[in-house]
Chains A and B, each alone.
Chain A
Amino acid sequence: MTANPQVRISVTGGGSGTGIASLINGTIQIANASREMSAEEIAEAKKNGITPVRFTVALDAIAVVVNRNNPVSSLTLQQISDMYAGKTGRWSDIGGEDRPVVLLSRESNSGTYVYFLEQVIRRGGAKSKLLFSPATLLMPSSEGISNEVTQNPNAVGYDGLGYVTPEQKVIAVARTAAGPWVLPSAATVFDASYPVSRPLYMYTAGEPSGEVKRYLDWIRGPAGQALVTTLGFVPLAEARQ
């Protein structure tokens, strides 16, 4: 904005669903989303005369975090799935202390919630009907998750790598019980060895032009991608070369 004082950008918060709903209603030009728009959403947008166009702007790892005093430091995808589906009631079932498991999640309006459900709890199976355990605590913000994980030794949470603070312990995740157990980082997301990563999108209302196009070019270019790295997300492949 300092470089282009004639352009004004307003940013509104909320989850991916919030942005996509606003895009469909035609109130905004760009919607940030951590999940893809569903077929119904695209149909609804088209009904309103808006063709959403998808741009990938960064990559993100979903980190599974626990309290620093929790001895558990690595889990398989299946163990995480069982835990969040409510099948694992105590930490001792998966090699931890004899404590109850307290599950934390973001609210259901977050793209992270949908992604985690589909890719981790359901393990990507289209037919799976598994859901988050009803006992899962739905926190309205990332702050709520990090606060509870920091102070509660029973808690386990998940969030984008960019939101993880040093007061939490990040779990190394493996695809199968045979390993390898991988910690999320820019490098492990990039070489796809960390199993829970996803692209982050910006949806525009129609093919971008003018200032919107310049903005997207900037964020996908070297300057924007450098910022992506600073914020703890993983830059796009093109920008790394």
Chain B
Amino acid sequence: MRRPRLSEFAVETLIKALGFSTIGFVLLIFLFLLREGMPIFFQVPSGNLFGPRWYPTFGIFGTLPLILGSILVTLLAIVIALPLGVATAVFVREVAPRWAREVLKPVIEVLAGIPSVVLGFFGMTFVAPLVRDVLHAPTGLTAFTGSFILAYMALPTIISVADDALDSVPKSYRDAGLAMGATRWQTIWRVIIPAGRSGILTAVMLGMGRAIGETMAVMMVTGNAAVMPDSLLALFRPVRTMTATVAAEMGEVARGSTHYHALFGIGIILFVLTFLINLAAASAIFQRRRKGGLR
């Protein structure tokens, strides 16, 4: 009896150590990010750091166009992806016959597995020329093109989380709705979607988290011009996102230079934004749990 206990103890300790080391690594990465990024907030006056022009080679570190660029692309992506995603989830969960559901669910999951560089290339060679021709924009490499590709990438996340949310709506709600004489559409629109709305909100937050952190595809299709988005027309003009900036410039900078710290500073800003989004998503999940999945 001693041997199994000893091995059990060993395995338990190992698993515990591995579990805690994950947290440790995350903490270390966070500390590294802080150590490399914080100096920029002291080295560069905030008027420059949050100014409207980004010319890092010449000591002009205005991150505002990059922050706004990221937010613009992400929000537009959600505006495109939310109706599509929720509609798909409703179809898969409420409308589709069983066999269609069995086919659709795995296909949607495969969507999530397409490498972003492939989508980026598709966007660059196919979507961008289309955007230019149809909208008569000077170039097809625009915020809209980026949002379009991002929406596609956020869709699988939104669909599967929204699907789970609809799944957790009790069957009695549907029955009650139909028993009251509501049509199927009225039941879905007035009862089921409102009941699952906090889950749908979580889906949106997670989709947003995915979109704001995406790099490769965005870098390939948004044109990367650090212009201030000043009007609605900016949607159809090039933008430069935070992620694309870090990815494009990190390879070049001399370690320890102001530019180097500025890129990590962008990393901190991005981290804070993503953290806030995830926090909002987590609190939505928490509320849903507390109310037992109702309302």
Query: Interface residues, chain A, CB within 8 Å of chain B?
Result: 14-15, 17-18, 21, 24-25, 41, 44, 99-102, 107-109, 113-114, 131-132, 134-140, 144, 147-148, 151-152, 154-155
Contacts and interface: CB of A to CB of B under 8 A. Distances in A.
Interface in B115-129: 124-125, 128-129
Given A101-B138, A134-B54, 20 more contacts: A14-B251, A15-B251, A21-B252, A21-B253, A25-B255, A41-B254, A102-B139, A108-B249, A109-B248, A109-B252, A134-B225, A134-B227, A135-B225, A137-B141, A138-B224, A140-B224, A148-B141, A152-B129, A152-B132, A154-B139
Contacts of A139: 224
Contact of A135 (B55, B238, B255): B238
Interface string B36-64: 00000000000000000111111000000
A134 B56 contact: no
Contacts of B248: 107, 109, 138, 140
A161 to B, nearest CB: 23
A109 B219 contact: no
B138 to A, nearest CB: 4
B281 to A, nearest CB: 31
A68 B273 CA distance: 44
B291 to A, nearest CB: 47
A100 to B, nearest CB: 4
12 contacts: A15-B251, A17-B251, A21-B253, A21-B254, A102-B139, A108-B57, A108-B249, A137-B223, A137-B224, A140-B248, A144-B124, A152-B129
Given A102-B138, A138-B248, A24 B124 contact: no
Contact of B140 (A41, A99, A140, A152): A152
A114 B138 contact: no
Nearest to A129: B58
Given A114-B57, A144-B220, A154-B139, A137 B253 contact: no
B139 A137 contact: yes
Given A147-B125, A154-B139, A136 B225 contact: yes
Interface residues of B, number: 34
Given A138-B240, A148-B139, A24 B254 contact: yes
B220 A140 contact: yes
Contacts of B68: none
Contacts of B253: 17, 21
A15 B128 CA distance: 26
B3 to A, nearest CB: 50
Nearest to B56: A108
A136 B124 CA distance: 17
Contacts of A17: 251-253
Instruction: Give the 9 A-B CB pairs with smallest separation, nearest first.
Output: A109-B252, A17-B252, A100-B138, A137-B223, A138-B224, A102-B139, A14-B251, A18-B251, A107-B248
Contacts of A100: 138
B157 to A, nearest CB: 26
A154 B138 contact: yes
Contact of B124 (A101, A131, A138, A147): A147
Contacts of A109: 248-249, 251-252
A155 B139 contact: yes
Nearest to A100: B138
A167 to B, nearest CB: 13
A176 B255 CA distance: 41
Interface in B240-259: 240, 248-249, 251-255
B226 interface: yes
B53 A134 contact: yes
Given A15-B252, A18-B252, A41-B254, A137 B238 contact: yes
Contacts of A144: 124, 220
Contacts of A114: 57
A136 B141 CA distance: 12
Contacts of B124: 144, 147
Contacts of B223: 137-138
Contacts of A148: 128, 139, 141
A107 B226 CA distance: 12
Contacts of A108: 56-57, 249, 252
Nearest to A108: B57
A154 B237 CA distance: 14
B115 to A, nearest CB: 16
B241 to A, nearest CB: 12
Nearest to B125: A147
Nearest to B141: A137
